[in-house]
Chain A
Amino acid sequence: MDLAVKDIRRHLGKFVATIVGVGLLLTIVLVMNGIYQGNIADGVWLIENTATDLWVVERGRGGPFNESSRIPADAHKSVAATPGVAQASPFVAYAAQRELGGASQQFTIIGYDVFGGLGGPGRIVQGRAIRAAHYEMVADAKLGLALGERVQLGRNVHTVVGITREAVDSGGNPLVYLSLPDAQDVQYEQDNRAREAARAASLKKLERAGYTAEQAAKLLPLLAAATDNVNAVLVKLAPGADPAAVSRHVQDWLHFNVYTTAEERSLMLEGRLRRMSGVLGLFRSLLVVVSIVIIALIVYVLTIEKIKSIATLKLIGAPNRVIVRLIMEQSLALTVASFAFAYLLTGVVEPRFPRTLLFLPQETAATFGVMLAGGVVASLMAIWHALRTPPQLALGG
C-alpha cells in the first residue's frame, strides 16, 4: 500500500494548492535565471555579432559602447594601411529615443559603410540589406515596423527594406541600421534654432577676439562642431596576422585605443553589465535560498502533521522503511511536481516577458538539482524527527 499516494489523494486540494504556490515561487527563480543570463546575452550581443576582429576607438577611452568615442571619419584609411589589416571600416553606434511606429521607442542606430564595409546586420529574416547610399533602413522586429514602412528619422524619411530578429544593444533595445552618412546625420542633427544660436555665439566670440564681422563670418565654418566623426573603426585582419601586433601598431602609430572582440566583451561585462549582473545575481541567490527554505518547511510541516499517524504506524509494528518511504515520496512528489509546474509556466511567460530571457539548460538542471537536494535534506530532517518520535505519542489523547 502506498501510504504517500493515499495521503495525497485524501488531501488533493491542499496538495495541489501547495504545488501551485511552490511552483509559482520556482517560476520566479527560473525567470530570474533567464533575466540574469538574458541581461548578459543582450549586453554582449552586438559585440559578438559584429563581424570584426578589432575595435579601434578614440585614444584613452573604453569605447564605443561603454564610453563615447569620436574619431575622424577618414581614420579607417590609415588603419587600413596598417600591416596585417585586410579591411577597415567606419562604424557609428548611437542610442536614440524617438517616436517610431506610433510610439516613443528606445533603440540604437548603427551606421556602417553599406558598400561592402564591416558592421552591417548579420542575419536579415525579412527583406534585404541596405543597398542605397541614403534613406534606407534595416530595423529589428521588436520595433514593430513593417517592410516598406516609411519612417522619419532626423530630417529625413527612411524606408524599411529589411527586418532583423533579436538584434539588440547592450540594454536589450532593438537596433536600426542606416548607411554611414544617414547615421551621422541623425547623430549630429540640430534643429535650425539650435544652429542659429551656436552660430551667433561663435560670431560673438570671434568679434570679442578682435575680428571684424566680415572676418568672423569667414572663420565661422572652421569653428563649427565637427560632424564628420565616427565612433569606431572595425578591422578585419589579414589571414595569419597577429592581432596583438596589429593592435600595438595602431596604438603606437595612429594613437587610437584598440580592443579585440574578447577585450571589448570583457569591457562590457566588467563595466556596464557588472552592477546589474551583481544585483540580479544577488536576487537570484536570495530567491534560491528562500525557495529551498520554503520547500524544506513545507516538507517538514507535511511530516509533523502526520506525526501521530507515524507514531501509530510504529505502534502497529510498521518498519522504518514504510515511514521513510511515506515522507520521501511526498517530498519528492512536491518538489518534482512544483518544478514541472514552474517549468511549464516559464514557457508561457517567456514570449510575453518584456526583456530577453535566456534559459541555459545546464542552469535549469542545476536549479532543479538544488531544489531537489533541498527537498531531500528537509525530508531527511523530517525522517530523523519521525524516527525519533516515541510510539507512545499516538496514545496521548
Chain B
Amino acid sequence: MDRDGAPVLVVEGVAKTFGAGELAVHALKPATFSVAPGELAALLGPSGSGKSTLLLSISLILEPSAGRIAVNGQEVYRDGWTGIDVRRFRRENIGFIFQSHNLIPFLTAQENVALMLQLNGIGAREATRRAREILDYLEIGHRAGALPANLSGGEQQRVAIGRALANSPPLILADEPTAALDTDRGTKVMGLLRKIARERRSAVIAVTHDRRMIEGFDTVYYLEDGRLSRTSQGAAAAH
C-alpha cells in the first residue's frame, strides 16, 4: 500500500443540503477525509444515509453546498466550482462505476471501453487495442464484441469497471457496484477493484451495503444520517 505522496483526494467540510427552509434535507453533513494514491476505501451506511450524495459530489456531478474538494492536487470546489471544465476533469481524473452498469446500449463491450479512451484523445485503433487489453485483464475479453443487452449482470459490471479504469484515472468511485449481483459475483467484482488498486495504483472508494464485501480494504468509512465517521474494520462489522 502506497501511503506516501500527496493525497489523491482531499475533502474538507463538504456538505450537501437539498431544498431550503422547512423542506431542507441535510443529506450530507460537513465531512472531512482524504484518500491516498492506491488506497482502497469502503463506504458503508444504511439506505438514505448520503453515500451516493458524497460520491456524486466528489465526482463533480452534484454541486455540494459548502466545503472544499481537491482531486489529484487540483482544487475543484471551494464553496462553488473553481471554474474548471468539469466534464473534462471528470473524464481525465475519475472513473465512475455506477450501481446499474450504465453502459451505452448501442456500443459493444469493447466499444464502450474504447469510447472512454477516445474521449481522452486516444486514436481509434490504439483505443480499440487497449480496450481489448483491459477486457482481457478483467477476464471478459471473449465477450468483447457483445452488446450490453447480451451480457450477464456480472459481465456488464466488469465492462463498466473496464470503462472506469480505461484511462488509469487516479481515483475510481464505485457506487454499490455489487448491488445488482449475487454474493459470489459481488465478491468477485470487489476482488477486481482490490486488484486494480493494488496493481494499477488507482485509489478506489467503493460503496456497499454488504460488510462481507469489504475484506482487505484499507479504510472503512461509515455514513449515518449524513454524518461521516471513520471506523476500523472491526467496528464497521459490529454495526
Contact = CB atoms under 8 A, between A and B. Distances in A.
Nearest to B100: A397
A332 to B, nearest CB: 18
A391 interface: yes
A317 B98 contact: no
B76 interface: no
A7 interface: yes
A392 B111 contact: no
Interface in A365-397: 391-392, 394-395, 397
A10 B148 CA distance: 12
A316 B91 contact: yes
A9 to B, nearest CB: 8
Contacts of A217: none
A309 interface: yes
Q: Interface range on chain B: under 10, 10 to 19, 20 to 34, or 35 or more?
A: 20 to 34
Contact of A1 (B89, B96, B115, B175): B115
A320 to B, nearest CB: 8
Interface stretch (B9-17, B64-72, B101-109, B208-216): B101-109
A10 B107 CA distance: 8
Given A6-B107, A319-B88, A1 B124 contact: yes
Interface string A1-28: 1010011001100000000000000000
Contacts of A395: 52, 56, 98-100, 102, 175
Q: Interface range on chain A: under 10, 10 to 19, 20 to 34, or 35 or more?
A: 20 to 34
Nearest to B98: A395
15 contacts: A1-B107, A1-B111, A1-B127, A3-B104, A312-B102, A315-B102, A316-B115, A316-B116, A316-B119, A317-B119, A318-B87, A322-B119, A395-B52, A395-B56, A395-B102
Interface of B: 52, 56, 61-62, 87-92, 94, 96, 98-100, 102-107, 111, 114-116, 118-119, 124, 127, 147, 163, 175
Given A3-B115, A395-B56, 8 more contacts: A1-B118, A1-B127, A316-B116, A317-B91, A317-B94, A391-B61, A392-B62, A397-B100
Interface of A: 1, 3, 6-7, 10-11, 309, 312-319, 322, 391-392, 394-395, 397
